Every structure is written in structure tokens, then in C-alpha cells.
Structure 1
């Protein structure tokens, strides 16, 4: 018989929860946890045609003053892509060659299943443990991430909900489950720069003003800037151009404007305000006639080694013998919202080599260790003085 975690993971994978759809995943989890004493709030947010479903469910210890651990994750998945390229239906969980295939197998329905089974095992063994346990799930992580975890965190903050530790089940491992955990993430700050010129015939440049030519020296200067040197936990802040749009498509017209999309991935050595000020100073120094629109996608967060990091490391070590590497690399996650209201946030999950790809999968051999690590984490935190 497949394990309890695998059965639940397969039930979740079978639900085609392409973002922002939840496809019944949250209701399945809510029903599964209710007999353990979890009290649930289902929070819907966003416009009707893009409705996001969120779940906050919590089991409160009978011990007064118990600290709280939150398991956080997302039920939504990215689109599968061309179905004919998959070896099997992406929403029919399929075992093949020691792997479980299906969209969300690694990112992150197996983690959610492992959360639930680990909690079931822990509560059965220690029903009176001095630990509050909660789950925060959303169907808006792979999308805009506007109506998901951010909305739930705002509600929790408004009513003074206490959170002490959070584990986000993102697929953080590289080769084997347990070889890497994320104890922070870089922030993301995007900008759209429009440089205005004067359109004209390319044979009469004296009657026009080419915004691409005007932008070029400023762009070269921005590319050469060292924004910061990083620190012991973060690599240096990176500035990258993602798109440049200019011209009408004709070969004999000087364009009237050029639009540049760019992004900072920034560490805790810089702030969004300092980066904006430095970039805008370059534009002003070059005398550009321009407009700049900023979008702050998320602030960086960092959990330095302490109770939570030590508890996760000990659980991994006990189950796998691995010494996990601490890392802050990669993209953003919903940890950026939770870190605003929770002092210690760590991401840990299975290997990420196949996430967002055709034939996404997880090794069957990684499923039970993941559950056992989450269970040991609960035990370790419950045992803290």
C-alpha cells in the first residue's frame, strides 16, 4: 500500500489547480485536519473570475503560552504546457521508474501532504504537547501573489495573531532531500523606464532626438555599478535589464521613445529606497527626459541561525545523515510576506530539479524522509524550554 503521504500527495496532484484555481485542494486539507481539533478559516480574495482561495487553520495547545509553528505553502501550480510533451497526463499521478510524476509533485503538493501527515503523527503521539500548530495555504503563489498569503498575513497581523516559527514547504533541496534549506530570500524591485526623444526621419537626425542614443551612456553606467558587496548570507545585489522596446519597426525612423524593463534582486545590505535613489541619480546626471515607474515585489528576509534553523538541521541530520547547507539563493517565495509577522521563517522541501518542467516528478524515496523530517521538527520545537 502507498504511504499516507503518497496517497494524499496523489489526491492533491489529481486536482488541476492551475493558478489561481484551488480545485478543491484546500477543502481536502481542511476536512483532513478537522478531526485533530484544527479550527479553519477559508478566506476568498480577488475578483470573481480570478478568485483566490486561502486557508488559515490552527490547533491550539491546552498549555497556556505555547509557542506557534506555522506550515505554509501553496496549492496552485503553474500551467502544464503542451500536454503532448508529457509522458503521462500531468494531473494523473503516475509512478514510473521510482518516481511519482504529475504537476505539483515537487512544487509543492508533496510538501503539503507531508505537512499534514507529520502533524497527524505528532498529534497522535503527543496530543498534549505545548505547541500551537497552524497551516497557511493559498492558491495564489504561482500567480501575482496579491490575493494570497499577503492577504492572510494582513488579517493575522490586524488581530494580533502570534507566530513564532514558520516552515515554507518550497522545494529547496538540490540532489537529495535535506541537502539545502533556505533561511532567507532576496528582495525584488522592478522598474519601467520610459526615455522620451523626438521622432524623425533617420536621414535628418538634426531634426530629431534619438532616445536610444541618449539612454546608452546611462545604461552602460548602471550596468557597471556595484550596488553592494553582499554579506555572509547573501550574494551581492544584482541589477538586470529584462526588456528594451524602441522603434516603430521601420528602418528609416528615429524612435520617439524607448522603454526599458529592469529588476533588482537585492540583499539586506541595500534597501529599496537606497536603490531607487541611486538609480534615479544616474538618470538625472545624464539629463534624460524620462518617466520611471517602480514596483516593489518583496523585501528581503533573513532568519539567522537560532531555534528554528537548529531544529530543522537536527531533524534533517537525524533522518538523512546530511548536514544541510544554508542558502538565500533563488527567486522569491511567500516567505517574504510571512517574515513581516513571524520572526523566524525557513523554507525546506524536496529537490527542485524538475519544478515547472514537463514531466515534473519527485523520487518515491524522498517522500517518507520529508514527512519524517517535518514530524521531527515538531518534536524538536515542542521540546524547547
Structure 2
């Protein structure tokens, strides 16, 4: 049955590529146009494939598409998780072609979201269609969640689905984020957690010609973030060789002041923190309080605090877990070589799903090394799309099985 499905994908790959192009052509930037139009295009693709779906729109234009393909059983099975939003394209003059007019050059499809991750979403849907068109009856169901908001924290997409008990109780899940490395397909089973720290500084307004009468919140913020940069300590433990080490970046965003000739009364800065198991929100906030207190001991006018506004857990699946084994088997059937597990940076919605069930962190088309994820001239390989569609179809068959013929 595997070969029948892979032959279907090979023969009909043009349809897959056209579906990717249709999705990439839609501006679904977050923040910006958001996901609604891309969700409508995906619904058209699913309708044409004969796959049932529903939509979830908790806020205007914030749409997730939830598709399913039935089976004899109603529990277990497989969940495909991907996202429809993309990051803004940035300076358009830096693109060799319009980011929302996809072009194929030298075997690669260029456009914003081609790798991250409309290529993966299209490959999910095409793999489901290939299984359906091959007339294979599954023992267990297959689900596709093409969600909103992954690029801005996932709170309007996967997190809301979890909070509303809309994640099915499957045997395993995957996020279709890019996990090809210089042309070699791989499995990503770990990712660091992610936390956002908000640093606030308060001062006293005054006329800028009389700075001694005010307290400059921006200047004091500068003292605080330099102190954090110099003295903040993160654990050096390594729980798994493929788990990215914790990192921090302070001052990734900063805003303060309301007018050039007013001493600023308030300033706010953000700190990005990537976490490993064992790190806690309480210990991080305690360390930051200690650093700020030391700054105050030198500059008594400093009035600042640092608090965690978001804390998402790291993900760590073992090499011999069911999800990793099945993921590897599906790739090997598709391309003929045994894949390895690799490390990649960045977080995916797997960090949420793994609180409920095993979910591969990244398992999909797009080259993590040459695909320019979030950069100019983002692209995905045509053959990479085809190979991953085959792997997804194989994964459906491997996890969901085939009913016995009567």
C-alpha cells in the first residue's frame, strides 16, 4: 500500500506544487493581514480533495482550519499541525521576486511562507488526498490543524484549541516545520522552551532643558539592561545532545519617551529567553530582581522591575519514542535512507502539544540551513516538497494502519 500512495504523489506532484503556490500567493502576515484569506484557499483545496473540515475563528480574521479523515476507530491516530500565518517580508527591494508572487527558479519555489510553512500545510493536505484517492481504508483517524498565530506566540491558534479541548486524543502528532538540512531529510525531536521577560523602568517627567528636575526612565533602563547583559547567568546543563542550550537576548525591543523635549517618564524593554528543563520562572525572576537591586545600590533613582509575561516549556522526546521511530520509518520508506535526528533553533507549536501528547518538534519541507526562514528570498525545494508529501503519507499508513479486507 505504501508504494501505491507514493506512486500517486509522484505522478500528481504538479498539483501539490500548484497548491503551495496558491497559498504562498496570499498575504497572511502576522501582524498584518492575518490568516483568513489563506484559510479560505486551504478550504478550497480540501473541498476539491473530498476532505471534511471545520473552521475556528475566535477573533476577526484569526482563522484555523481543522480537517479530519475518518476511520473505523474514533480514538488514536495522527495529528498534523501547521500554521497559516507568516512573518512580514521586510524590505521588498531585498527580494529577487515579489514575496507574494511565488516563482520557481533552479528547482526551488520562492516566496514568503514557502518554507515556513505553507509548503508543509499543502504537503499535509496532499498526503491525505493521496491516501484517500488510493482507496486505502484507515483503522485510525488522521487530523490536520492549520492554525493561526504561530508566528506571534500561538495564543490565538494552538493554545486556544488546547484550552477549548479541540486537540484530538491521537497516538502522536507532528508539526510540519522545516527539518531538511542541506537536502537531507531529518527528524527534530527537541526544542528549547521560550520565555518573554518584560522589563519596566519608571522616571519623572520634566522639560528637557532642565534634565536635573526629572528622572530619565530611558537612561535608567539602559543601566538595567547593560547590567543584565553582563551579569545574568543561565544554567550550563546539557540534558540531551540535541537539545539547544539555553540562551538570552536582552533589549530585543525597547520603547520609551513621548516627545523629544520631555524627559521620559516610562520605558519598557523585552528580553528573549530560551529555556531547558529545570529552569523555572521563579528562579529567573528572582535573579533579575537581584541584578536590578545591585543597579539601584549604585543609582538610587532607578525604579525598575522585570517580570515574565510568557513561559512555554521545552520539548524533549527520546530517540526511542514511538513518535520518533514512526517518523524515521516514514522517511526511510519515502527516500530510501535512514534519517537521523538533528538539532535546530527556534520554537514550534510542538511545545504546547507535547503537554498533551507526543509531538515531533519539526518534521517537514524547507531547508533549515539554506531556506532563508524569516529572511529575504525564502524558498523551498520542489523535490523536498514531494519527498515530504510521501513521508507524510507513509506516516499516515504507519500510524493509522489499514483495515483488513473482508
User: Does the C-alpha gap of structure 1 residues 264 and 80 become closer, same or farther in structure 2, counting only changes over 3 Å?
Assistant: closer
Native 8 Å contact 2:97 2:103 kept in 1? yes
Q: By how many angstroms is 1:42 displaced?
A: 0.7
Which residue does 2:63 correspond to in 1? 53
Listed as ranges, the matches of 1:185-224 within 5 Å are 185-195=191-201, 211=220, 215=224, 219=228, 222-223=231-232
Instruction: Say whether residues 1:14 and 2:25 are aligned partners.
Output: yes
1:8-40 superposed Cα distances (whole Å, 9 cap, x missing partner): 112212223233533533233334434766442
Aligned mates of 1:139, 1:258 — CA distance in 2: 31
Which residue does 2:312 correspond to in 1? 298
TM-score by structure 2 length?
Answer: 0.78
Native 8 Å contact 2:80 2:145 kept in 1? yes
Which structure 1 residue ranges, 4+ long, deviate > 6 Å from structure 2? 197-201, 207-210, 244-250, 253-258
User: Does the C-alpha gap of structure 1 residues 231 and 43 become closer, same or farther in structure 2, counting only changes over 3 Å?
Assistant: same
Native 8 Å contact 1:17 1:76 kept in 2? yes
Which residue does 2:5 correspond to in 1? none
Listed as ranges, the matches of 1:1-385 within 5 Å are 3-19=14-30, 20-22=33-35, 24-34=37-47, 38-46=51-59, 48=60, 51-63=61-73, 65=75, 67-125=76-134, 127-156=136-165, 161-178=168-185, 180-195=186-201, 211=220, 215=224, 219=228, 222-223=231-232, 225-232=233-240, 233-243=242-252, 260-284=269-293, 289-305=303-319, 306-327=321-342, 329-350=344-365, 351-352=367-368, 353-383=371-401
Q: By how many angstroms is 1:358 displaced?
A: 2.4
Native 8 Å contact 1:335 1:345 kept in 2? yes
Aligned mates of 1:376, 1:114 — CA distance in 2: 12
Q: By how many angstroms is 1:106 displaced?
A: 1.4
Aligned mates of 2:267, 2:91 — CA distance in 1: 34
TM-score by structure 1 length?
Answer: 0.82
1:185-233 superposed Cα distances (whole Å, 9 cap, x missing partner): 21222222335578999x999x98984797489536633x243413114
1:328-354 superposed Cα distances (whole Å, 9 cap, x missing partner): 541222222222332333421221332
Name which of structure 1's ranges 310-319 and 241-250 shifts more when overlaid on structure 2. Answer: 241-250
- Partner of 1:381: helix, strand, or coil? helix
User: Does the C-alpha gap of structure 1 residues 98 and 37 become closer, same or farther in structure 2, counting only changes over 3 Å?
Assistant: closer
- Partner of 2:389: helix, strand, or coil? helix
Aligned mates of 2:280, 2:150 — CA distance in 1: 24
1:239-294 superposed Cα distances (whole Å, 9 cap, x missing partner): 331257789999xx998777553222101131223322343344456667433332
- Long gaps (5+) in structure 1: none
Which residue does 2:6 correspond to in 1? none
Q: By how many angstroms is 1:6 displaced?
A: 0.9
Which residue does 2:7 correspond to in 1? none
Native 8 Å contact 2:348 2:361 kept in 1? no
Aligned mates of 2:374, 2:222 — CA distance in 1: 39
Native 8 Å contact 1:190 1:264 kept in 2? yes
Aligned mates of 1:254, 1:169 — CA distance in 2: 48
Aligned length: 376
User: Does the C-alpha gap of structure 1 residues 238 and 79 become closer, same or farther in structure 2, counting only changes over 3 Å?
Assistant: closer
Native 8 Å contact 1:186 1:329 kept in 2? no
User: Does the C-alpha gap of structure 1 residues 173 and 314 become closer, same or farther in structure 2, counting only changes over 3 Å?
Assistant: same
- Give the superposed CA RMSD: 3.7
User: Does the C-alpha gap of structure 1 residues 247 and 182 become closer, same or farther in structure 2, counting only changes over 3 Å?
Assistant: same
